[in-house]
A and B are shown apart, each in its own frame.
Chain A
Amino acid sequence: MTGRFKPYLAGAAALFASGLAHAGEGAVADEWKWLTFAVFGGIIALTMYITWWAAKRVHTTSEFYAAGRSVSGFQNGWAIAGDYLSAASFLGIAGLIALYGYDGFMYSVGFLVAYITVLLVIAEPCRNIGKYTLGDILAFRNNPKAAKTIAAVSTITVSIFYLTAQMVGGGVLIKTLIGIDYEVSVIGVGVLMLAYVVFGGMVATTWVQIVKAILLVVASLVMVALVWAPYGFSLPGFLDHAVHDEGIQKQVAKLLGTAAANMTPEELGQRFLEPGLFLKNPIDQISLGMALVLGTAGLPHILMRFFTVPNAQEARKSVVWAMVIIGGFYVLTLFLGLGAALNVGPANIVALDKGGNMAAPILAQYLGGGADSMMGNFFLAFVAAVAFATIVAVVAGLVLASASAMAHDIYVGVIRGDHATPDEQVKAARVASVIVGVVAIVIGIAAKGQNVAHLVGMAFAVAASGNLPAVLLTLYWRRCNTGGVVLGMLVGSFSAIALVMVSPNLTYPQAVIKEAKAVLEGTPAKDAVPAKASEGFVCELFAVCQNAEAAKPAAEAKPGAIENLAKLNEKIAALSDPAELDKAKKEAGKLEKDIKKAQDDLKKFEGQTTNLVGIEKPFFRLKNPGIISIPLGFLMVILGSLLFRDKRAEDMWDELYVRQNTGIHAEGATAH
């Protein structure tokens, strides 16, 4: 095993070195690049050592998929945290809090509460009756081939959505931070992750996730300590400074627009700690909450983690530990986000990345001593490397989940009818991992520059609407059977995907063109528009009738960027004071960038009028489909079960129910 592993390692190193050669610009200045690469190299070397160590311990199917079921509850808790805390939650939520205050923090809450469902009704029963995959749980009393096929399709769909978002996000992140080409970082993430999975299976993946979770928590704790210390670790003291911070007050004024006209600076600052700056549609929020709270329990790569512990008691322990770690981390995001807003300022964060994803890394640079100091760049490099490790570890878990669905459910379960030698099974698992890994790299590169923000939401929505109803009712409802599981998973998943495809999450060419034109040419003066009442609840969800709209005050005409730039250039020609000249030139550079972006958008969408699925405007008004697709998923499982009788499913109920509650005949640990 290790003999095969060495040439691979050399290849990975060569690829990474070629990445260095391509390094262009990024948040780290060129003179400090070596430091960044040293930190990256250190963390990669550590994970490679883990993989080498794990490779010697992975021989059987149970070791490859489930780490021999010998991971302790405490270790698995850290690994779940490592699997779950993606770059989106570390960088994305800190960014949302830095830009929108309170509303960003509401996301954090949902991500933790999700684990109550996992703890109470999913983890232990699944551990008691399952083997390696979601398919095993559903196949227990339903028709095995039908259940395994649909579970595998769903697992691969959910994982590919999640994975694409991670790959694209990772590529962009590495480019913004240290300037490595997008394609190189996508291939780098893919090659590293393949090394962990193919050679070290679940053993390596688990330990990489544990190491990454510890690094993430340590980095966050250090940053929060540095952010909070100047205020004597007093919560009101810290918040008080945020309220009186000019940068935050300006950000709120910008977000509120004309509504901020009569507010005192202190009221503006306080508004940052109140809801409603980012999440404006309450129904959408509730819909998102439903997908988060029920979707996590249906994510195949999270479910798979419960098969790595020896028994149901350890599965319970691992969720409790995961809740402590994940919850603790999400409390820290409040300080990371507000700390970034206080110290770096929302305006500077937006300048680097519109979505605020750079808030945490830039805060790290500031805390270390700023962009010109060694410590500042070391901190930035460390946070960037942790973010990179985060992406690789999460992707590794996702690839393992898809590969197990492909090899264990489809190949061994359906095609070979459960007759395959142990050697064949491990080989199938490795081959499937390589296939999924290569697909992930290809999709990652193909999706360059695409809007992928909706994909993680879609993964959660499909898991909540397709997987969770099927798993929950299989476990707890006697009448549930194959017909219900198949119908529920099909309708639940498809409705979730279809609703997202016609939702405001996607890019609509006409809207982009209109916005780009407004940037270039300015907007004419507008009269005030009175508020409009909704024509009913359905109108809040679908674009079939008039939904409620708040009143819009009159707006003055705004000149476009082209006009502004011409005026500014005239002014620059007349200026002589070097300080003012510098400032004006910076402003001109910003305008030029805006113009370039708008022109690029115009060119990209020229002549297009419809989006990916051929519609001009969003038909579904919410960003999150859960409120419709989740009840639909449950309803269809119930309906399908009642329509199609299945004697085996009913006969097996006693066995399933006794076994899930008592752990009799549960798959045991394999001794090393």
Chain B
Amino acid sequence: MASPQPDWAAIDRDPRFQALHKKKSSFLWGLMVFSIVFYFLLPFGAAYFQDLFKVKVWGPLNVGLLFALSEFVVAWVIAAVYAKRANREFDAMAAEIARDAHNIKGSK
């Protein structure tokens, strides 16, 4: 921690940081809401839509089992989508701000 403190408020106001913040927030919370809704469909369905869950699709494999298995696939897809976007876009934006942190000053 030998380096002097950057001007945090100035970085926060910097358009590059604001752009990162906006992109990241909407993307993250969107994914978050989607995944929570998708997850709770399973206990809701198992409780209130048993007739649908019992429909056989492929031999004894029914909608309920397929839906439970799809939860795994969706979780993995969400992880992959997020990791890809973060690796490609967010990391580069954050790195650029971090590199430039000491040059961003409070002057308006």
Best-buried of A109, A239, A293, A327 by chain B (most CB within 10 Å): A109
Some 28 contacts from A to B, beta carbons below 8 A apart, are: A102-B46, A102-B64, A109-B72, A112-B75, A116-B78, A119-B79, A120-B82, A236-B60, A239-B60, A239-B61, A240-B59, A242-B60, A270-B60, A270-B62, A275-B47, A293-B36, A313-B87, A316-B83, A316-B87, A323-B75, A655-B8, A659-B8, A661-B20, A661-B94, A662-B97, A662-B98, A663-B94, A664-B6
A278-286, A377-385, A503-511: which lies at the B interface?
A278-286
Chain B residues lying within 8 Å of A269, measured Cβ to Cβ, are: 60
A window 417-472: CB within 8 A of B: none
Do A282 and B48 touch (CB < 8 A)?
A: yes
Cα separation A284 to B62 with both chains bound (whole Å): 24
Count of A residues near B, CB < 8 Å?
A: 54
Chain A residues lying within 8 Å of B64, measured Cβ to Cβ, are: 102, 273-275
In the complex formed, the residue of B with least CB distance to A292 is B39
Cα separation A120 to B56 with both chains bound (whole Å): 35
A559 within 8 A of B: no
A window 211-247: CB within 8 A of B: 235-237, 239-240, 242-243
Q: Which residues of B contact A (CB under 8 A)?
A: 1, 3, 6, 8-9, 11-12, 17, 20-21, 24, 28, 31-32, 35-36, 39-40, 42-44, 46-48, 50, 53-54, 56, 58-62, 64-65, 68-69, 71-72, 75-76, 78-80, 82-83, 86-87, 91, 94, 97-98, 101
A window 618-662: CB within 8 A of B: 654-655, 657-659, 661-662
Cα separation A539 to B47 with both chains bound (whole Å): 18
Q: DSSP class of A's interface residues: helix, strand, loop or mixed?
A: helix
A665 within 8 A of B: yes
Do B71 and A113 touch (CB < 8 A)?
A: yes
Best-buried of B79, B82, B94 by chain A (most CB within 10 Å): B79
Chain A 379-402, CB-CB to B under 8 Å as 1, else 0, gives 000000000000000000000000
Do A662 and B94 touch (CB < 8 A)?
A: yes
Chain A residues lying within 8 Å of B44, measured Cβ to Cβ, are: 282, 286
Do A240 and B60 touch (CB < 8 A)?
A: yes
- Other than the given A109-B39, A316-B87, A320-B83, 20 more pairs (CB < 8 A) read A102-B65, A102-B68, A103-B46, A235-B61, A240-B60, A273-B62, A274-B53, A275-B46, A275-B47, A282-B48, A289-B40, A316-B86, A323-B79, A324-B79, A327-B75, A327-B76, A654-B11, A658-B8, A658-B97, A664-B6
Chain B residues lying within 8 Å of A239, measured Cβ to Cβ, are: 59-61, 65
Q: How far is the CB of A239 from chain B (nearest CB, A)?
A: 4
Chain B residues lying within 8 Å of A240, measured Cβ to Cβ, are: 59-60
Do A119 and B82 touch (CB < 8 A)?
A: yes
A105 within 8 A of B: yes
Do B8 and A654 touch (CB < 8 A)?
A: yes
A121 within 8 A of B: yes
Q: How far is the CB of B14 from chain A (nearest CB, A)?
A: 9
State whether A654 and B48 are in contact (beta carbons under 8 Å apart), knowing that A106-B68, A113-B75, A121-B32 are contacts in the complex. Answer: no
In the complex formed, the residue of B with least CB distance to A275 is B46
A199 within 8 A of B: no
Do B75 and A115 touch (CB < 8 A)?
A: yes
